[in-house]
């Protein structure tokens, strides 16, 4: 019980030097991936005067699930939202450093945000289906991007996406009913179907199971396991068990810094950094 | 029940003290509730007095006195040439036919002054209905027909019991003789209260028995139409821009403060602005619903903008994020998701703004809509009155019969307001969404 306040005060004392521009730390472990889709180098994010993340470098590999873990406010969600520029919606947010999708700089002027978000999809913490029919929820992305030439093709995309999200058998007879009428777990799978309907290259998931019960969570985790064959998945989670179950690599964030990256088995069995060890053994967080 | 006896409970002093205060707390709560209830009853009481007075004063305006007379449609009087030309039929002296009928009914009235009093029983406009019948069907000339003729407003007031028969003769609008004649006619079953068609179908008139709210209603309708067509799109567009697209900086802050201030500006100031701008500079016609609508637009815009922004703010950010997340552009997020969800709230705000505009009279006085308008306006450019202004004008008229018409017009205006606010509530109930 006593370690927590101590860490907290240590953190506030560390904060002023952390705002300095020079790289003040080194990430433990290899942040590179063998076959990267996204490469982030020395990313800093500021909300106004406050620095949210500092000098984070991390690769997202193809066909892998990478879990971002860490205590609340450590910057893992902020980093996730940099990858499809969702931070643009926050006016005070400022991003520096370099993030590349293959070899395109996603913060470059010529990068189109709409195009980027079609390629890097996102699933949110709280299931957020549109207050429209189940069909229209899934069909929305393909429609605005003009992915289907006719109704038949659109039907096929919707069916395939719902099948992949493991929802088809449950909703195939009531596609015209509102998506908001589904249960929480079904809604989240609907949101995943909506995301994969535009065939993105990367799927970002921001604590996708935090609002769900254990059974619904298990279904989503199975789904993530299947999806990784076709997509790169970045998942932010507060549950270390979940990170251990679904991910191949794990990145541990602490107070805006990327402390340690490594293969998930290694991080959980043999953490190299003291902070990582303290967190995964449950001493704080 | 002594708290100190239970071994596991908190020490006795705490319990005793809490118990002591408990009764006081509950008493206080009861007092507070009673106070609220009293305030509510007080307000409702005033509302009840208001409505009872209005209905008591106004309900009689929906009927009016008519007197049954046998009119001889004398061919000699109407169309001496016998050629049945429309112009002759139109200009014939139908008033004389009524006078003849009155003479036949009361043959002993011969003195000039008495005759004039006798004639005064019937409305000076009563001949219009006879003329209409003759024009529609000239074949009736030569026959004798019974007509329920419009009574003069003073007779109407007497029949409705609004003239005190015991007052000295000099203090009433009707003489003893006139009252006697009306009583004689009534004893014959020739005086009756019938539906007051004029009240709903005609414009203003100096004769209360002919005065109606139709032209004011049409004027109000045109005005609200102009206001709605201008203020809804403008208000929604402004709200969407400010809420969804505009950067947050000193300029938008300034604009926001100004919009909030404009909503609180007294309406007569907008009337002056309208007079200076629309009539003096742009040269738009005076007393026109178009100008009234423009002025009311200025007045309603801030209300609609504020309501629309509140409705936009109420759309949860998760919906925006969801749409952005699948790659919708800003415009698509707004058009496909935010606007449809905010629309019921915007419409509710608009209807409430419209209801306020409908009841507004002060700015209309400034732009000349206070004129005496008999004709029903046919377009937003015709001179016209508005319902609240009509009420103002009638409240100012000396005739006793305008009192009930004022109340009745207020009732009609209130009915429109209740209808509009009811629609707003219905809309909100119907489309209210939960996330």
Note whether A85 contacts B: Cβ–Cβ < 8 A: no
What are the sequence ranges of the domains in chain B?
67-194, 214-431
Condensed to tens digits (0 to 9), the pLDDT of residues B243-287 reads 988 888 899 999 999 999 998 999 999 999 999 999 999 999 988
Note whether B323 contacts A: Cβ–Cβ < 8 A: yes
- What is the average pLDDT across A188-213? 91
What is the pLDDT at residue B1? 45
What is the pLDDT at residue A24? 66
- What is the average pLDDT across B2-29? 75
Give percent of chain B with pLDDT exceeding 70.
97
Residue B420: exposed, middle, or buried by beta-carbon count in 10 A (0-12, 13-18, 19+)?
middle
- What is the average pLDDT across A18-36? 72
What is the pLDDT at residue B435? 47
- What is the average pLDDT across B192-216? 91
What is the pLDDT at residue B11? 66
SS (H, E, C) B22-45: HHHHHHHHHHHHHHHHHHHHHHHH
Give percent of chain A with pLDDT exceeding 90.
58
Architecture of domain B214-431: Orthogonal Bundle (1.10)
- What is the average pLDDT across A246-274? 92
Out of B247, B318, B324, closest to residue A126 by CB: B318
Which tokens is B177 given? 């003789």
**Strands A232-236 and B191-195: what pairing?**
unpaired
Q: Are B297 and B360 in contact (CB under 8 A)?
A: no
Out of B318, B329, B435, closest to residue A124 by CB: B318
What is the pLDDT at residue B68? 93
Sequence-distant (6+) residues with CB within 8 A of B191 are B65, B66, B67, B68, B151, B159, B182, B185
**Helix, strand, coil abundance in chain A, percent, nearest 5:** 40, 25, 35
**Chain B residues 220-249 with a CB less than 8 Å from chain A:** 247-248
What is the pLDDT at residue A19? 42
**One-character DSSP codes across B264-320:** TS-HHHHHHHHIIIIIIIS-PPTT-HHHHHHHHHHHHHHHHHHHHHHHHHTS-HHHH
Average pLDDT, rounded, for chain B: 89
Terminal CA-CA length for chain A: 12
Condensed to tens digits (0 to 9), the pLDDT of residues B373-413 reads 888 888 889 888 999 999 999 999 888 899 999 999 999 99
User: Is residue B353 very low, low, confident or very high in pLDDT (cuts 50, 70, 90)?
Assistant: very high
CATH superfamily of A25-280: P-loop containing nucleotide triphosphate hydrolases (3.40.50.300)
Average pLDDT, rounded, for chain A: 87
Condensed to tens digits (0 to 9), the pLDDT of residues B4-15 reads 455 566 567 788
CB contact under 8 A, A198 and B247: no
What is the pLDDT at residue A7? 40
Residue A145 pLDDT greater than 60, yes or no: yes
- What is the average pLDDT across B226-234? 96
What is the pLDDT at residue B6? 53
Residue B221 and residue B166: Cα distance in Å, rounded? 45
What is the pLDDT at residue A116? 93
CB contact under 8 A, B326 and A129: no
Terminal CA-CA length for chain B: 48
Residue A149 pLDDT greater than 50, yes or no: yes
Q: What pTM did the predictor assign?
A: 0.81
| Beta carbons within 10 angstroms of residue A176's beta carbon | 10
Greater model confidence, A7 or A70: A70
Out of A114, A131, A195, closest to residue B329 by CB: A114
Residue A38 pLDDT greater than 90, yes or no: yes
Condensed to tens digits (0 to 9), the pLDDT of residues B155-181 reads 999 999 888 888 888 888 888 899 999
- What is the average pLDDT across B50-78? 90
What is the pLDDT at residue B226? 95
Note whether A180 contacts B: Cβ–Cβ < 8 A: yes
- What is the average pLDDT across A130-147? 93
Give percent of chain B with pLDDT exceeding 90.
57
User: Is residue A233 very low, low, confident or very high in pLDDT (cuts 50, 70, 90)?
Assistant: very high
Note whether B336 contacts A: Cβ–Cβ < 8 A: yes
Q: Are A177 and A134 in contact (CB under 8 A)?
A: yes
- What is the average pLDDT across B34-58? 95
- What is the average pLDDT across B71-87? 83
What is the pLDDT at residue A15? 41
Residue B320 pLDDT greater than 80, yes or no: yes
Quote the ipTM score: 0.83
- A–B interface: beta-carbon pairs under 8 A: 67
Out of B247, B322, B324, closest to residue A130 by CB: B322
Condensed to tens digits (0 to 9), the pLDDT of residues A165-188 reads 889 999 999 999 999 999 999 999
């Amino acid at each position: 019980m006593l370690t927590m306040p101590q860490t907290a005060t240590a953190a506030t004392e560390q904060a002023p030097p952390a705002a300095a521009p020079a790289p003040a730390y080194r990430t433990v472990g290899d942040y590179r991936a063998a076959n990267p889709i996204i490469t982030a180098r020395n990313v800093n994010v500021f909300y106004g005067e406050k620095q949210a993340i500092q000098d984070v470098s991390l690769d997202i590999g193809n066909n892998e699930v990478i879990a971002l873990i860490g205590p609340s406010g450590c910057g893992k969600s902020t980093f996730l939202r940099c990858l499809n520029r969702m931070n643009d919606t926050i006016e005070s947010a400022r991003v520096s450093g370099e993030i590349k999708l293959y070899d395109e700089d996603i913060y470059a002027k010529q990068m189109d945000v709409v195009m980027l978000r079609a390629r890097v999809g996102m699933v949110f913490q709280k299931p957020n289906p549109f207050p429209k029919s189940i069909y229209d929820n899934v069909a929305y992305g393909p429609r605005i991007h003009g992915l289907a030439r006719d109704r038949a093709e659109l039907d096929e995309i919707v069916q395939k996406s719902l099948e992949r999200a493991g929802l088809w058998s449950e909703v195939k007879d009531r596609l015209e009913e509102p998506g908001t009428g589904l249960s929480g777990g079904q809604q989240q799978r609907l949101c995943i179907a909506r995301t994969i309907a535009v065939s993105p290259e990367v799927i970002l998931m921001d604590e996708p199971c935090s609002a769900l019960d254990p059974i619904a969570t298990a279904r989503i985790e199975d789904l993530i396991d299947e999806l990784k064959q076709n997509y790169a998945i970045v998942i932010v989670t507060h549950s270390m068990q979940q990170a251990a179950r679904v991910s191949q690599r794990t990145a541990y964030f602490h107070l805006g810094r990327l402390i340690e990256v490594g293969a998930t088995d290694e991080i959980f069995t043999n953490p190299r950094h003291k902070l990582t060890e303290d967190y995964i053994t449950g001493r704080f967080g | 029940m002594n708290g100190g006896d239970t071994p596991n409970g908190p020490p006795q002093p705490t319990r005793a003290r809490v118990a002591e205060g408990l009764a006081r707390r509950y008493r206080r709560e009861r007092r507070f509730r009673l106070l609220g209830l009293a305030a509510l009853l007080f307000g409702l009481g005033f509302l009840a007095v208001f409505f009872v007075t209005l209905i008591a004063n106004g309900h009689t305006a929906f009927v009016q006195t008519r007197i049954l007379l046998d009119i001889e449609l004398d061919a000699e009087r109407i169309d001496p040439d016998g050629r049945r030309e429309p112009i002759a039929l139109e200009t014939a002296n139908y008033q004389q036919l009524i006078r003849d009928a009155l003479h036949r009914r009361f043959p002993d009235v011969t003195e000039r002054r008495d005759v004039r009093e006798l004639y005064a029983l019937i409305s000076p406009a009563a001949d219009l209905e006879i003329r209409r019948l003759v024009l529609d069907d000239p074949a009736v000339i030569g026959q004798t027909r019974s007509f329920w003729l419009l009574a003069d407003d003073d007779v109407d007031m007497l029949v409705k019991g609004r003239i005190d028969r015991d007052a000295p003769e000099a203090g009433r609008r009707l003489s003893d003789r006139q009252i006697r004649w009306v009583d004689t006619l009534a004893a014959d079953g020739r005086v009756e209260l019938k539906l007051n068609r004029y009240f709903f179908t005609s414009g203003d008139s100096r004769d209360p028995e002919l005065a109606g709210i139709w032209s004011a209603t049409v004027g109000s309708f045109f005005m609200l139409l102009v206001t709605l067509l201008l203020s809804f799109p403008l208000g929604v567009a402004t709200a969407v821009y400010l809420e969804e697209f505009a950067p947050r900086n000193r300029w938008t802050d300034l604009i926001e403060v100004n919009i909030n201030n404009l909503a609180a500006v007294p309406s007569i100031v907008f009337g002056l602005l309208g007079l200076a701008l629309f009539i003096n500079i742009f040269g738009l016609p005076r007393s026109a619903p178009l100008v009234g609508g423009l002025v009311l637009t200025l007045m309603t815009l801030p209300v609609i903008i504020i309501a629309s922004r509140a409705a936009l703010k109420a759309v949860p950010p998760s919906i925006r994020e969801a749409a952005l997340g699948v790659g919708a552009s800003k415009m698509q997020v707004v058009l496909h998701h935010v606007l449809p969800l905010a629309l019921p709230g915007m419409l509710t705000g608009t209807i409430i703004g419209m209801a306020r505009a409908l009841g507004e009279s002060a700015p209309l006085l400034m732009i000349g809509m206070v004129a005496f308008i008999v004709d029903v306006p046919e377009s937003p450019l015709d001179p016209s009155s508005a319902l609240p202004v009509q009420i103002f004008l009638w409240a100012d008229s000396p005739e006793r019969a305008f009192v009930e018409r004022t109340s009745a017009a207020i009732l009609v205006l209130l009915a429109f307001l209740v209808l509009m606010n009811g629609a707003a509530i219905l809309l909100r109930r119907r489309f209210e969404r939960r996330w």
